[in-house]
Chains A and B, each alone.
Chain A
């Protein structure tokens, strides 16, 4: 039978390097993807993902299975991503002092998606980029909630554990996040890619 993540981590604690490698193989891709969508920079995302694994390794001796392994793992990742994003913003604000600081629940930054003309020639890559940008425009905590919910497919209890909030607060967070994505991505949502490709003019006019 496959060992659970908690068992693997306990084996790492006991000095088994192979178990660490197993966890690395299992979570490298989810972590890099999550961080890439959080910080929107591939190089930074990989650096941060490596840092997550390093911290897991460093903490192995103190590890006690008090929460799901993935809750712990993604909590470290979210923590590092938020630090990185905030450091980055401070750097940017250093350059442009009048740049607006986007607070936790402020309105999303202005987005090109609403003005963007979506025609039949729009290819998948452009759509993916618009979606990525819309997700990235969400306040950080909403963004993390959406990524963990939609792409990591975590349940509410676990996401609430990662973000350190109640399940009720999480559901509100998710509702607000998806509501702004629905508005921002309205042209895509109401015009699925199949209809764009078909070119039959089935999609709702813009």
Chain B
């Protein structure tokens, strides 16, 4: 018979009713002979019920308006947004070079900083947010497009944190 440690992973799935018949039998066999795990299982069920006492909160009145406002402030809604990101980046670089040359040629008596390229402006529009302050423009895109950023933040616990194959399958909705 499996011991308490062996059964621990299966216990949650058992209580969720998401086990295959073999796992189910393993857990049931263990519970039949182990009063401690039986109590634990009962208390897990009670705990889940207790956790439902925490009420849900509603977003504040101005929440939607604030999201729409921030979306509307996105510079990519202008003509500049028609370009693909790679093209946008190339264009930004080209503009930066052009601006730098132009500024350098100005007959100004005091040196001026070159104006930031539009992509840099886009990235800095939300600089009040701690979460983005360390991310550059391109990394920022990576976070949302590649979904790999989390693995850098959460220290992987080898060997169990390898991606499951099932994760790669496509699914709709």
Q: Which residues of A contact B66 (CB under 8 A)?
A: 46, 50
**Could you tell me if B154 and A51 are in contact, using CB atoms closer than 8 angstroms?**
no
Q: Which residues of B contact A48 (CB under 8 A)?
A: 131
Report the separation of the CA atoms of residues A131 and B67 in the bound assembly, to the nearest whole angstrom: 30
B128's nearest neighbour on chain A, judged by CB, is A47
**Could you tell me if B154 and A163 are in contact, using CB atoms closer than 8 angstroms?**
yes
A32 interface residue (CB < 8 Å to B): yes
**Could you tell me if B57 and A47 are in contact, using CB atoms closer than 8 angstroms?**
no
B45's nearest neighbour on chain A, judged by CB, is A189
Q: Chain A, 113-148, contact with B by CB distance < 8 Å: what is the 0/1 string?
A: 000000000001001100110010000110000000
Within 8 A of B (CB), among A13-54: 20-21, 24-25, 28-29, 32-33, 36-37, 42, 46-51, 53-54
Q: Which residues of A contact B12 (CB under 8 A)?
A: 171, 174-175, 178
Interface positions of B (Cβ within 8 A of A): 8-13, 18, 40, 43-44, 46-51, 53-60, 63-64, 66-68, 70-71, 74, 76, 81, 84-85, 126, 129-132, 134, 140-141, 143-145, 147-151, 153-155, 157, 160-164, 166-167, 170-173
**Could you tell me if B51 and A175 are in contact, using CB atoms closer than 8 angstroms?**
no
Q: How many residues of A contact B (CB 8 A)?
A: 87
**Could you tell me if B57 and A163 are in contact, using CB atoms closer than 8 angstroms?**
no
Q: Which residues of B contact A135 (CB under 8 A)?
A: 51, 54
Report the separation of the CA atoms of residues A144 and B118 in the bound assembly, to the nearest whole angstrom: 36
Q: How many A-B residue pairs have CB under 8 A?
A: 204
Report the separation of the CA atoms of residues A49 and B64 in the bound assembly, to the nearest whole angstrom: 10
**Could you tell me if B43 and A169 are in contact, using CB atoms closer than 8 angstroms?**
no
**Could you tell me if B150 and A58 are in contact, using CB atoms closer than 8 angstroms?**
no
A87 interface residue (CB < 8 Å to B): yes
Interface of A is mostly: helix
A96 interface residue (CB < 8 Å to B): no
A155's nearest neighbour on chain B, judged by CB, is B18
Q: Which residues of B contact A174 (CB under 8 A)?
A: 12
**Could you tell me if A29 and B153 are in contact, using CB atoms closer than 8 angstroms?**
no
A68's nearest neighbour on chain B, judged by CB, is B171
Q: Which residues of A contact B63 (CB under 8 A)?
A: 28, 32, 46, 49-50
**Could you tell me if A62 and B85 are in contact, using CB atoms closer than 8 angstroms?**
yes
Q: Which residues of B contact A186 (CB under 8 A)?
A: 43
Nearest CB on B from A25, distance (A): 8
Choice from A50, A62, A80, A193 contacting B145 with Cβ under 8 Å = A62
Q: Which residues of A contact B149 (CB under 8 A)?
A: 79
